[in-house]
Amino acid sequence: MNKPRFHIVTFGCQMNRHDSEHIAGALREAGLEPAGDLDDARVIVYNTCCVREHAEERFYGQLSQLAGLKRVRPEVVIAVTGCVAENDGEQVFRRAPHVDLVVGTEAAAGLARLVESRIAGEGGRLCTRDASPDDLADAPSLRESPVHGWISIMTGCDNFCSYCIVPYVRGREKSRSMDRILAQAEEMAAEGVIDVTLLGQNVNSYGRDLSGELRFAELLQRLDTVGIDRIRFTTSHPKDLSSKTIGAIAASSHVCHHIHLPVQAGSSAVLARMNRHYTKEEYLQLIADVRRAIPDVALSTDVMVGFPGETERDFSDTLDVVHESRFDQVFTFMYSKRIGTPAADMPDQIAQETKQDRFRRLMESVKAGALRANEAYAGRAVDVLVEGPSSKDPSRLTGRTRTNKLVHFTASPALRHTVVPVTITAARTWFLEGRLSPRSDSVPMPRQDAATWEG
């Protein structure tokens, strides 16, 4: 008999991508198989995000389109998990009566079992947000890529930035045991994974809730020896990035010299209202310290415009920080009001047109900065982990440097999922162009894709 098939649609951050891989692993363990697409699926899982209104609306828009499919094929099981499931609970049924299961973030480890009983025809519609005794991260995972893996090192968030819904939908900060993380990393290394990303909303506070003194710096030191070539981590909160962690990154051989360090805003007054616990000056000092310790570091950040009460002057502080910090990559957002967060009730919400205008001006500055940062790579030899054919031009390959720069170049598709030396021939705003270099070509440097910062 054919096994029932499942299809997972994932919205949101890397934590959701990680969770989807483990939900897929758990479903496979329960006897299901991945489906090619929605039409082929007996089980459809939406793993959702509500960090901004847009993400949430996009999900509900797509979900409403499944009403017709459910009418024609009532046996299809539709499950909603992730942050919208946690936030909206039963309300999901009100907006989409064709949904069978709503499973909150902390209940997601039980999703596969619930799906199994629905397939067996047991039970009706169900919403659960009760924390599962199991950890979803311990379920087997079905990875999207054989060479890239995610490891959740902690879940939840205790920071309560005043605009952010994440602490309400992901619960309190909880670190996973270091032994468990190391064991997962070792398994991945044995399976040929080359690039691992450690995940947490604030990885810098890893271990604070565990007994003993071991923290993020020690975790990085230990992971450095497990045999994984590229170890990444996200996200770092500037208030908690310690000099010990910076030192551990600098000293390691396999931790990538890339730090995602969301600044959110440049104005110290706005940062205080955001509950970020650092000022503009402290952030700039931190970046200076990081660059001194790790001269070839690539820095990326998140920036938001239109936070309540943001004045033109506040916004110009944001532009200042973006200009001065010479980020390699900036993820830009327009503030989106999230019901239940403190900022939603703050006075002086910013008009949509003002947000759009500031967003546009921010993007101009970001584009100029991204091109400048990429130009520092021209002529350099870098090691590229090949992801596969470029989505825009399938005759070319695309891959990433250790510093997470996207590189396009022409070479045999057989190089997919290997690390190859590439010489950068041109810098574009959002990517680099390169040419495959013979091994002897690559300039021996301590880190071959290191861009230096001059002036």
- Which positions lie near ligand SAH, rule CB under 6 A? 51-52, 163-164, 166, 201-202, 235, 237, 262, 264, 302, 304, 333, 335-336, 338
| In the complex, least distance from residue 395 CB atom to ligand SAH, rounded to whole angstroms | 34
- Among ligand SF4, ligand F3S, ligand SAH, none, residue 167 binds (CB under 5-8 Å by kind): ligand SF4
Closest to ligand F3S by CB, 302 vs 357, is 302
| In the complex, least distance from residue 15 CB atom to ligand SF4, rounded to whole angstroms | 9
- The residues near 300 (Cβ < 8 Å, ≥ 6 apart) are 258, 259, 260, 261, 327, 328, 329, 330, 331, 404
Neighbours of 133 (CB within 10 A): 7
Alpha-carbon torsion 233, 239, 242, 246, what sign?
positive
Closest to ligand SF4 by CB, 166 vs 246, is 166
Residue 51 sits in the site that holds ligand F3S (CB under 6 A): yes
- Among ligand SF4, ligand F3S, ligand SAH, none, residue 139 binds (CB under 5-8 Å by kind): none
Candidates 32, 43, 76, 83: give the one binding ligand F3S (CB under 6 A).
83
What is the distance, to the nearest Å, from the Cα of residue 329 to the centroid of all Cα atoms in its chain? Answer: 14
Residue 137 sits in the site that holds ligand F3S (CB under 6 A): no
- Among ligand SF4, ligand F3S, ligand SAH, none, residue 16 binds (CB under 5-8 Å by kind): ligand F3S
Closest to ligand SAH by CB, 70 vs 355, is 355
Residue 96 sits in the site that holds ligand F3S (CB under 6 A): no
| In the complex, least distance from residue 287 CB atom to ligand SAH, rounded to whole angstroms | 16
| In the complex, least distance from residue 253 CB atom to ligand SAH, rounded to whole angstroms | 27
- Count of residues near ligand F3S by CB under 6 A: 13
Query: Measured between alpha carbons, how far is 87 from 105 in angstroms, rounded to an integer?
Result: 9
Tokens of 65: 């389109």
Query: Measured between alpha carbons, how far is 296 from 306 in angstroms, rounded to an integer?
Result: 32
Kindly state the helix (H) or strand (E) to which residue 398 belongs, with its residue range: strand 397-400
Burial (0-12, 13-18, 19+ Cβ within 10 Å), 214: middle
Bridge partners (DSSP) of residue 329 are 300
Residues 10-29 that bind ligand F3S (CB under 6 A): 12-13, 15-16
| In the complex, least distance from residue 355 CB atom to ligand SAH, rounded to whole angstroms | 10
Instruction: Specify whether the CB–CB gap between 163 and 210 falls below 8 A.
Output: no
Q: What order of strands is seen across the sheet that includes strand 329-334?
A: 258-260, 298-305, 329-334
Cα torsion for 142, 147, 153, 154, to the nearest 10°?
-50
Q: Provide the mask over 30-49, with x wherever binding to ligand F3S is found by CB under 6 A and - wherever it is not.
A: -------------------x
- The span of 34-42, 113-121, 166-174, 344-352 binding ligand F3S (CB under 6 A) equals 166-174
Instruction: Specify whether the CB–CB gap between 401 and 355 falls below 8 A.
Output: no
- Among ligand F3S, ligand SAH, ligand SF4, none, residue 83 binds (CB under 5-8 Å by kind): ligand F3S
Query: Measured between alpha carbons, how far is 201 from 327 in angstroms, rounded to an integer?
Result: 20
Closest to ligand SAH by CB, 206 vs 335, is 335
Residue 59 has phi, psi (to 5 degrees) of: -65, -50
- Among ligand SAH, ligand SF4, ligand F3S, none, residue 160 binds (CB under 5-8 Å by kind): ligand SF4
Instruction: Specify whether the CB–CB gap between 172 and 158 falls below 8 A.
Output: yes
Neighbours of 213 (CB within 10 A): 7
Give residues in contact with ligand SF4 (CB under 6 A): 157, 159-161, 164, 166-167, 201-202, 237
Q: Using CB under 6 A as the criterion, which residues of the chain lie in contact with ligand F3S when the complex forms? A: 12-13, 15-16, 49-51, 82-83, 165-166, 169-170
